[in-house]
Each structure stands twice: as structure tokens, then as C-alpha cells.
Amino acid sequence: MHIPFEPQVFGCNINIHLVLEYLAFFVAFRYYVFLRRKRHDVISSNNRLSIILGAALGALIGSRFVGFLENPFVNISQENIIQILNTKTIMGGLFGGLLGVEIAKKCIGETQSSGDLFVSPIILGIFIGRIGCFLSGINEFTYGIVTTSIFGMNLGDGQLRHPVALYELIFLIILFFSLNRLKNKVTLKNGDLFKWFMILYFTFRFFIEFLKPNVFYLFGLSTIQILCLICLLYYHKTILNIFKNAR
């Protein structure tokens, strides 16, 4: 199989990344519905719907805003305005969704933690989306820098690059089973599983960004890495408790 993978249907090239992106949303939501039916949800249906709407709106704004900040000095013109508006990132979506949920909960007066039910569906959705990123090769900004290591792959430009999307797929598999094992073996407070997910995923993304041809603006860090640090600072109390309990 050649990367970028561009299958043809009736003579038309199919954007495999876009197809898998929409598939990721659909499968992740259906998986969430399945889990909610299977488990007892301490949050009422009306409040859960408000939380989902808050998460969706926050994710939409956050993904676009952080996506734009990845290259804020681009020339805005009529030719590239559509591309700028379509630029998005899962990292901004996750953190924006988190803020959207917290705002929605304050508006409706919900005090229960709401994130644990989203963890597995989010991981599954990201996994499906990252398959599309990997198959798109250099057509999506998820490829790595040129490397001479044994992990180098030709992603479409004839050079051996770190397959960053493939690295993330492996990490997501490990994360999915590790968090499910943690949930079954350890008694966690409501909301702790989501905190673990955010801390581990954003830590992974902080380090993996060094393998991408990013623009490093501030303190030698990219926009995504700065967002990762903001997220880890947001969860600093949880991180301190993790180290405290580890001792």
C-alpha cells in the first residue's frame, strides 16, 4: 500500500482522513451511548445532554483556536481563508471541551464529575482518526521529522520520517487497556479516570511533538506543547496527589 493512501471510488479520489474522522465521531458517540446504558450514570439525562452540548461547543472553538495558533503569522487572504478556518487540532478540542463542560456544569448547577464515561470513547475516536492521519502521510501535519533510525518510513515525499501517528496509535492501545485495568483494580473517585487520561495523553503529546517539524515559538516550545503544560498545570493538584500516593 502506498502512502498517502488515496482510494478511488467511481474515478474520484477519496479523502481517507476525512472519512475516518467522521467515522471516529460516529463510533465514539455510539460507544458512549452503549457504555451509558450499561452503567449507572449519576448524572440525569437532561444534565448529561447539557454537558455534551457544552463539550461539543468547547471542543469546536478550542480545536479551531489552537489550530490557528499553531501558525498565527500566516498571511490571511481570500485564497487561504477556508484552509485557515478548517485548521483544527484534537488537543485544542480536548482542552476546549473540558472548559466547555465545566462552564455547562456551573450553568446547570451540576456538581458530579462527568468525564469518566467519555474516556474510552474519546480514546477510540482518537485512534480511528489517527489511522486516517497515518494513511494520509505528508498530506496531514501529523508526520515526523526526517530520521535515520530503523523506525523511519516513507510517508509520501521520498524521505524516511518518524511515523508519529503510528507511535500514537501504539500509545493509545496501551493507554486504553491500562486505564481499563486501573479502573478494575483500583477504587477511583468519580472523575479520577478522566484526569488520568488527560494527564497521560497530554504528557505523551508534549514529548512526541519534538519529533514533528513544528514551529517553536516560545521557550523552544510549540503551541501544542504550551497547551500541554497549561493542561498539566490545570491538573497540578491531581499530579501532586499521584506522586504523594506513590511514595
Q: Give the residue extent of every domain in the chain.
A: 8-42+112-246
pLDDT value for 66: 84
- Distances from the Cα of 140 to the Cαs of 33, 172, 188, 190, 246, in angstroms? 30, 19, 38, 37, 39
Against a cut of 0.85, is the pTM above it?
yes
| 189 pLDDT more than 90 | no
Q: Does an H or E element contain 176, and which?
A: helix 164-185
Q: Are the CB atoms for 147 and 160 separated by under 8 Å?
A: yes
Q: What is the pLDDT of residue 131?
A: 92
For residues 92 and 63, what is the distance between their CA atoms, to the nearest angstrom?
4
- The distance of Cα 52 from the centroid of its chain, to the nearest Å, equals 16
Q: Name, in order, each residue with C-beta under 8 angstroms of 139's C-beta and a sequence gap of 6 or more.
A: 4, 17, 156
Residue 82 has a pLDDT of 52
Look over the chain and give the mean of its residue pLDDT values, rounded to a whole number.
84
Where does the pLDDT of residue 49 fall: very low under 50, low under 70, confident under 90, or very high at 90 and above? confident
Those residues whose C-beta lies under 8 Å from the C-beta of residue 197, and which sit 6 or more positions away, are 115, 119, 122, 123, 175, 179
Mean pLDDT of 41-61: 84
Quick one: average pLDDT of 79-107? 78
Which residue type sits at 237? K
The C-alpha atoms of residue 230 and residue 215 are separated, in whole angstroms, by 18
Dihedral angle computed from the Cα positions of residues 95, 92, 71 and 142, in that order, rounded to the nearest 10 degrees: 120
Cβ atoms within 10 Å of 82's Cβ, excluding its own: 9
pLDDT value for 46: 81
Look at residue 202 and tell me whether its pLDDT is greater than 60. yes
